[in-house]
A and B are shown apart, each in its own frame.
Chain A
Amino acid sequence: MAGLELLSDQGYRVDGRRAGELRKIQARMGVFAQADGSAYIEQGNTKALAVVYGPHEIRGSRARALPDRALVNCQYSSATFSTGERKRRPHGDRKSCEMGLQLRQTFEAAVLTQLHPRSQIDIYVQVLQADGGTYAACVNAATLAVLDAGIPMRDFVCACSAGFVDGTALADLSHVEEAAGGPQLALALLPSSGQIALLEMDARLHEDHLEQVLEAAAHAARDVHTLLDRVVRQHVQEASILLGD
């Protein structure tokens, strides 16, 4: 009978965070040598790996080539061992396809595709462990990977999820909080301009609260941006030492 109390009277969430607090984020760039760009990110227990190839010539049917900009091709998959119950198929199911599409939309908005007409950029993302906020982790990992590949972008794309419980907006939902079935919002933001690359919302939420949840998600996304920025700077520093500058 006792339903889980997502937000205690004292303002703590199930895992001890406050409402607006993010989970711990750790990230590394350049994890694979073969790929043009790659990155690995951990947001709490959610772990994702992103690999970027390109820009290169269109593979397969030439007809897909776009005359004025590059084609962004995204593939999402999640490891069979990533969830509590073992999955049958690592990729190709409906959910993966949808996620791939969302990622593509996000990055088409952020990458300066018009600089590479008639070429293709491949982004492959794999989730190794899913503990809520997989979309956000994928976007953040992919951003780092795209940066690693040196593909020009308008800005970082920083994503974060947010939910709404008892009149309070919660940032960066964990799996437990997602599973409770409340409204959930995923936001990908271009932080410096404040433009929204993608916004998705599940379940019903009263119009009056939308602003509040959106604000929480945007704030969290900006926090993610500072963290990612730090990771990138550190990576560049390390790389420059290796190159001996």
Chain B
Amino acid sequence: MIPDWKVVQDYLEILEFPELKGIIFMQTACQAVQHQRGRRQYNKLRNLLKDARHDCVLFANEFQQSCYLPRERGESMEKWQSRSIYNAATWYYHHCQDRMPIVMVTEDDEAIQQYGSETEGVFVISFKSYLDNFWPDLKAAHELCESILQSRRERENESQESHGKEYPEHLPLEVLEAGIKSGRYIQGTLSVNKHRAQIEAFVRLQGASSKDSGLVSDILIHGMKARNRSIHGDVVVVELLPKNEWKGRTTALGENDGEFPSEPMPTGRVVGILQKNWRDYVVTFPSKEEVQSQGKNARKILVIPWDYRIPKIRISTQQAEALQDFRVVVRIDSWESTSMYPSGHFVRVLGRIGDLEGEIATILVENSISVVPFSEAQMCEMPVNTTENPWKVSSEEERERKDLRKTHLVFSIDPRGCEDVDDAFSVRALDNGNLELGVHIADVTHFVASHSYIDIEARTRATTYYLADRRYDMLPSILSADVCSLLGGVDRYAVSIMWELDKTSYEIKEVWYGRTIIRSAYKLFYEAAQELLDGNVDIVDDIPEFGDLDEKSRQAKLEELLWAIRKLTDIARHVRAKRYQCGALELEGVEVRIQLDEKKNIHDLIPKQPLEVHETVAECMILANHWVAKKIWESFPHQALLRRHPPPHQEFFSELRECAKAKGFFIDTRSNKALADSLDNANDPNDPIVNWLLRSMATQAMSNALYFSTGSCAEEEFHHYGLALDKYTHFTSPIRRYSDIIVHRLLMAAISKDKKMEIKEDLFSNKDLEELCRHINNRNRAAQHSQKQSTELFQCMYFKDKDPETEERCISDGVIYSIRTNGVLVFIPRFGIKGAAYLKNKDGLVISCSPDGHSEWKPGSLQRFQNKITSTTTGGESVTFHLFDHVTVRISVQASRCHSDTIRLEIISNKPYMMPDTELFQQSSLLLKSDLVKEVTRSVEEAQLAQEVKVNVIEKDYQKYCQTKGRSLYTLLEEIRDLALLDVSNSYGI
């Protein structure tokens, strides 16, 4: 099928359907797109061409001798383009020796008439009849086609009757560029305040422009008018307003307009958009009553996006009634200056509002995550491992790889029941008395060839997505849970790093990298490993590998394993100590781990206390990552994929310092070492939560760690702040991260380079790698967001069924961690929920507390100080809330039709909430913690169960929990960000 230029321009979205394959794009058509629709559309087309799954090709017809047609005198551009495309189509038909019928699809009726019957075998039809004839079943495509047609008709109508303008026109591009250069305008990315989407938006400055203009902070864009049709995420050009028009940002909570705007900040208005970052938006149709109130324009409907930051979108559809209760995907087409709202078209239905599947699909679409089952072509590349036809080590590989099956005692330590084991260890004494530590990582790249279908798919996904109740794998389960997984007692391919260490000082003497064959002897779980380490041998009965051995050999084997685990721990302690000296941060405290595990691994990862084994494993992973990073950087200084963590800006720490001061601690943030030390000291013995909150605030202040290509960054910037390492990468989890796959390939290439062999791997150039890194970083962010949003979804669903007035579970203890003008932000350690609690309600009443602590609403006023807030009633009673005060809050759910439900908090007492088990409170904090864990787990499990009854997938879900999540210390560190106090995406939140 060959689309005409007009079809490519207008129906590209339909051509993107995975069902439509084998499309030949003519160069003429592509160039028309490039010229008339601009870069964005053209890039979409390019991606389509690059995507091997679509089987599309570009035919450079203008460069082909027999296809080129000169444009005739007086012939219009459009005519010439159609003629060229038809001519090329005919040529293509003859080129295939008249065997393959060719369909040329055009929208030009004249062309259909003129060429329709000219050549046999080359059919010229319109796009509509093409869909009708060839894809009668592809309903989605038909619907999309309809809605595109309709929205185009609308646009034409509108342009005729253009009336009063709602927005000023954007300036032409040349003016913008000249303005940016001269410093008159400023370029930046627009981000809308989620909580005041109508009024507040900020422009985050980009690169050089911030230096020139001397502005430190972001620029406030106040109101929709000044925002001038730009949407969250767009790259915009801003003109600063004169100083007397500057406004302050509101610090009040919620909808009621802040009476005390903070001091004025630079304010501007958008004069042009450089790059539109429109994506697919999930929207909800207004309910029936609202539709009627919109009156005569019933065909055009304003739909409300799920994301608060996106303005309402005007679409025209007849299906509004039918789609009442559904979440729908919509795409924005244009936003004319004559229109209040952008206009778009309907794309597809996701699911019912409030339905778990529908809501999850919403989260996926909002984060641009697309998860389709692996296709047949992709599965065909997979190795087979069934009972009839078991997978075996091939003899060629046996020759090429170092065989560690006989010589090394290899074991893995993972959570109980884990099936994707991507790392294993070995320790042994060498003949010269030195020690040899080995880290063995599953050799995924052996099975995933570069540029194979599965590789392309994995690259697109970039990571395994973990939602609260499910996960979407990056690789098919045959690899992730079977052939690549380093299970016990079977032969597996691995990529190994082996260090030779001095026997006493553990100084690294030599390091070896290479492909190996291993057979893991023991698949231990954390608790068992810890028990062994503590010398508690009873646990042996729990390890299946020891099951059917007689007493004697059992004893010998046990001795051997014990020695290895002890040595491993010893080495890890040593390495860690060294890293801490350099200033590595330990940001995850005890509580964090509880919170982490709470949602992720319900069954398995419930440590009674953090085990040393966890840290040992993490340390070995960090060591391996560090050494691999060094190696690939040395071999490929300009195209190695590393991970850096830039040092944070000092000004972001000010809130942390203020908070700490309120408790009488001093936090030194000048270096990572100073920060780590002062955080260790800032420990309130009566309240472990304080330390945790401070740590989480510190994490919040830091920037994200990023993947990058070494060619595009100066060497000083490679540094990893959190781990205090000069070079770091991700190498140890190729099963669930694509970056690790790239690093594996780089390492293999580096090894062959050392051996002076030809480099088999097809490595990315710096530019491609940089683009890939950006993609992976984006996907990681999307994965984090979707995980967080799905957790919130579950929290809401859990509390939704409970009646907040009666249910004991809805009342809990909370800690105030931030003060705003009309309320406080509260963290509830028991559920890991953060939220806002108002001290002044919508009617203007303020909170007051009776002597026994119970609160009620009374008229009065609020007064805010640096780290406390006082509410005074007209009757003269007053109550003060300090930072880090414990209060009792009631949790309820604020239901919302168009958006996600939100948790609402209400302070019902200014005294800490006493749990029924009060006496436990007084006991040692250790006991308290374990109690907390049990409590949380139980409640969450109940929540899960409640959910699962609803969706009837109990069995399946539990299986999914068995997979592991981040064992490296750094992953943990990053995950805290999810739990950090403020919204990541919007630091101006609340």
**Which residue of chain B has its CB nearest to the CB of A10?**
B58
Query: Does A16 touch B at the CB level, under 8 Å?
Result: yes
Interface residues of B in 19-56 (CB under 8 A from A): 34-35, 38-39, 42, 46, 49-50
> How far is the CB of A28 from the nearest CB of chain B, in Å?
26
Using known A-B contacts A1-B173, A166-B767, A167-B767, determine if residue A12 contacts B63 with beta carbons closer than 8 Å.
yes
**Which residue of chain A has its CB nearest to the CB of B34?**
A2
> How far is the CB of B187 from the nearest CB of chain A, in Å?
14
Tell me the bound Cα distance from A10 to B24 in angstroms: 13
Write out, one digit per residue, whether chain A residues 67-99 have a CB within 8 A of any chain B CB (1) or not (0). Answer: 000000000000000000000000000000000
Query: Does B638 touch A at the CB level, under 8 Å?
Result: yes
Write out, one digit per residue, whether chain B residues 54-88 have a CB within 8 A of any chain A CB (1) or not (0). Answer: 00001010110000000000000000000000000
With a CB–CB cut-off of 8 A, which chain B residues contact A166? 767
> How far is the CB of B612 from the nearest CB of chain A, in Å?
46
Query: Does B217 touch A at the CB level, under 8 Å?
Result: no
Using known A-B contacts A167-B765, A208-B638, determine if residue A9 contacts B49 with beta carbons closer than 8 Å.
yes
Query: Does A5 touch B at the CB level, under 8 Å?
Result: yes
Tell me the bound Cα distance from A1 to B50 in angstroms: 22
**Which residue of chain B has its CB nearest to the CB of A16?**
B63
Interface residues of A in 137-190 (CB under 8 A from B): 166-167
Q: Dominant SS at the B interface?
A: helix
In-complex Cβ contact of B60 among A2, A10, A167, A206 (8 A): A10
With a CB–CB cut-off of 8 A, which chain A residues contact B768? 167
**Which residue of chain A has its CB nearest to the CB of B39?**
A2
> How far is the CB of B274 from the nearest CB of chain A, in Å?
8
With a CB–CB cut-off of 8 A, which chain A residues contact B767? 166-167
Q: Are A1 and B638 touching (Cβ within 8 A)?
A: no
Q: Are A9 and B765 touching (Cβ within 8 A)?
A: no
In-complex Cβ contact of A12 among B34, B39, B49, B60 (8 A): B60
Tell me the bound Cα distance from A8 to B25 in angstroms: 14
With a CB–CB cut-off of 8 A, which chain A residues contact B50? 9
With a CB–CB cut-off of 8 A, which chain A residues contact B35? 2
**Which residue of chain B has its CB nearest to the CB of A167?**
B765
With a CB–CB cut-off of 8 A, which chain B residues contact A9? 46, 49-50, 58
With a CB–CB cut-off of 8 A, which chain A residues contact B638? 206, 208
Tell me the bound Cα distance from A8 to B30 in angstroms: 11
Q: Are A1 and B58 touching (Cβ within 8 A)?
A: no
In-complex Cβ contact of A1 among B38, B60, B63 (8 A): B38
> How far is the CB of A221 from the nearest CB of chain B, in Å?
25
In-complex Cβ contact of A16 among B46, B58, B60 (8 A): B60
Tell me the bound Cα distance from A1 to B40 in angstroms: 10
With a CB–CB cut-off of 8 A, which chain B residues contact A1? 38-39, 173, 274
> How far is the CB of B172 from the nearest CB of chain A, in Å?
11
> How far is the CB of A177 from the nearest CB of chain B, in Å?
16
By the criterion of a CB under 8 Å from any partner CB, how many residues of chain A are at the interface?
Answer: 13
Q: Dominant SS at the A interface?
A: loop
**Which residue of chain A has its CB nearest to the CB of B173?**
A1
Interface size class of B (residues with CB under 8 A): 10 to 19
- For A2, A12, A166, A208, the residue with the greatest tally of chain B CB atoms inside 10 Å of its CB is A2
Tell me the bound Cα distance from A2 to B42 in angstroms: 9
With a CB–CB cut-off of 8 A, which chain A residues contact B765? 167
Tell me the bound Cα distance from A167 to B50 in angstroms: 18
With a CB–CB cut-off of 8 A, which chain B residues contact A12? 60, 63
**Which residue of chain B has its CB nearest to the CB of A2?**
B39
Q: Are B38 and A2 touching (Cβ within 8 A)?
A: yes
> How far is the CB of A11 from the nearest CB of chain B, in Å?
9
> How far is the CB of B640 from the nearest CB of chain A, in Å?
14
**Which residue of chain B has its CB nearest to the CB of A208?**
B638
> How far is the CB of A215 from the nearest CB of chain B, in Å?
17
Interface residues of A in 32-53 (CB under 8 A from B): none
> How far is the CB of A163 from the nearest CB of chain B, in Å?
16
Interface residues of B in 165-222 (CB under 8 A from A): 173
With a CB–CB cut-off of 8 A, which chain A residues contact B38? 1-2
> How far is the CB of A14 from the nearest CB of chain B, in Å?
10
With a CB–CB cut-off of 8 A, which chain B residues contact A206? 638
> How far is the CB of A170 from the nearest CB of chain B, in Å?
15
With a CB–CB cut-off of 8 A, which chain B residues contact A208? 638
**Which residue of chain A has its CB nearest to the CB of B765?**
A167
- For B46, B63, B274, the residue with the greatest tally of chain A CB atoms inside 10 Å of its CB is B63
With a CB–CB cut-off of 8 A, which chain B residues contact A16? 60, 62-63
Write out, one digit per residue, whether chain B residues 631-674 have a CB within 8 A of any chain A CB (1) or not (0). Answer: 00000001000000000000000000000000000000000000
Tell me the bound Cα distance from A9 to B49 in angstroms: 9
**Which residue of chain B has its CB nearest to the CB of A3?**
B39
Tell me the bound Cα distance from A191 to B501 in angstroms: 56
Tell me the bound Cα distance from A166 to B20 in angstroms: 31
Q: Are A5 and B34 touching (Cβ within 8 A)?
A: yes
With a CB–CB cut-off of 8 A, which chain A residues contact B60? 8, 10, 12, 16
With a CB–CB cut-off of 8 A, which chain A residues contact B39? 1-3
Tell me the bound Cα distance from A208 to B765 in angstroms: 12
**Which residue of chain B has its CB nearest to the CB of A4?**
B34
Interface residues of A in 103-138 (CB under 8 A from B): none
With a CB–CB cut-off of 8 A, which chain A residues contact B46? 9
> How far is the CB of B71 from the nearest CB of chain A, in Å?
16
Tell me the bound Cα distance from A208 to B49 in angstroms: 30
With a CB–CB cut-off of 8 A, which chain B residues contact A5? 34
With a CB–CB cut-off of 8 A, which chain B residues contact A10? 58, 60
With a CB–CB cut-off of 8 A, which chain B residues contact A3? 39
> How far is the CB of A63 from the nearest CB of chain B, in Å?
51
Interface residues of B in 742-777 (CB under 8 A from A): 765, 767-768
With a CB–CB cut-off of 8 A, which chain A residues contact B274? 1
Tell me the bound Cα distance from A208 to B173 in angstroms: 35
**Which residue of chain B has its CB nearest to the CB of A166?**
B767
With a CB–CB cut-off of 8 A, which chain A residues contact B63? 12, 16
**Which residue of chain A has its CB nearest to the CB of B177?**
A1
> How far is the CB of B43 from the nearest CB of chain A, in Å?
10
Tell me the bound Cα distance from A188 to B173 in angstroms: 41
With a CB–CB cut-off of 8 A, which chain B residues contact A167? 765, 767-768
> How far is the CB of B174 from the nearest CB of chain A, in Å?
11
Tell me the bound Cα distance from A55 to B49 in angstroms: 60
Write out, one digit per residue, whether chain A residues 181-219 have a CB within 8 A of any chain B CB (1) or not (0). Answer: 000000000000000000000000010100000000000
> How far is the CB of A142 from the nearest CB of chain B, in Å?
32
Tell me the bound Cα distance from A159 to B768 in angstroms: 32
> How far is the CB of A187 from the nearest CB of chain B, in Å?
24
> How far is the CB of A25 from the nearest CB of chain B, in Å?
19
> How far is the CB of B69 from the nearest CB of chain A, in Å?
14
30 contacts across the A-B interface (CB closer than 8 A): A1-B38, A1-B39, A1-B173, A1-B274, A2-B34, A2-B35, A2-B38, A2-B39, A2-B42, A3-B39, A5-B34, A8-B58, A8-B60, A9-B46, A9-B49, A9-B50, A9-B58, A10-B58, A10-B60, A12-B60, A12-B63, A16-B60, A16-B62, A16-B63, A166-B767, A167-B765, A167-B767, A167-B768, A206-B638, A208-B638
Instruction: Other than A1-B173, A2-B34, A9-B58, give 10 A-B pairs with Cβ distance below 8 A.
Output: A1-B38, A1-B39, A2-B42, A3-B39, A5-B34, A10-B58, A16-B60, A16-B63, A166-B767, A167-B768
Top 7 closest pairs, chain A to chain B, by CB: A16-B63, A167-B765, A2-B39, A12-B60, A1-B39, A10-B58, A2-B34
Report which B residues bind A (CB closer than 8 A).
34-35, 38-39, 42, 46, 49-50, 58, 60, 62-63, 173, 274, 638, 765, 767-768
Report which A residues bind B (CB closer than 8 A).
1-3, 5, 8-10, 12, 16, 166-167, 206, 208
